Amino acid sequence: MSEFMDIALEEAELAAARGEVPVGAVVACEGKIIARAGNRTLELNDSCAHAEILVIRAAGNLLGNERLTGCDLYVTLEPCTMCAGAISLARIRRLYFAAEDIKGGAVENGVRFFSSPTCHHAPETYSGLGETRAQQLLLEFFRKRR
């Protein structure tokens, strides 16, 4: 498994420890991590504070550019429609995600955002990297909630 996905999974674990849904993300450019985050929707009282949005914002600020061409995103759960839109607008080169999200995903499930004729940029997409660990984190988190 990729070291970048390992770090995204660490961010997911930290999110779970904060009581957030355990999703973590990393943006890597030129083989180096430039941003990492986990979900913070509860902490920030912000329904848009998904891990993907947070790392895209941080990476854009670091690079001084809203376009992250040449950058790759590693995320532990299939992005939702909002995050898929942000990934497209940021011009992420490659998207790697661990677990699919049958209910809320928008890449291989749901609206399949990147396949839409109105999508201006679709990253290369790879799924299943670290899937078992990501699924276990999610299952354990929600099991404790019920």
pLDDT digits (tens, 9 = 90+) for 33-66: 999 999 999 999 999 999 999 999 999 999 999 9
Q: Answer whether residue 129 shows pLDDT above 60.
A: yes
Check residue 146 and give its pLDDT.
78
**Residues forming the active site:** 52
Residues 6 or more apart whose CB falls under 8 angstroms from that of 65 comprise none
What pTM value is reported for the model? 0.96
Check residue 145 and give its pLDDT.
84
Query: Mind listing the pLDDT tens digit for each residue in 72-124?
Result: 999 999 999 999 999 999 999 999 999 999 999 999 999 999 999 999 999 99
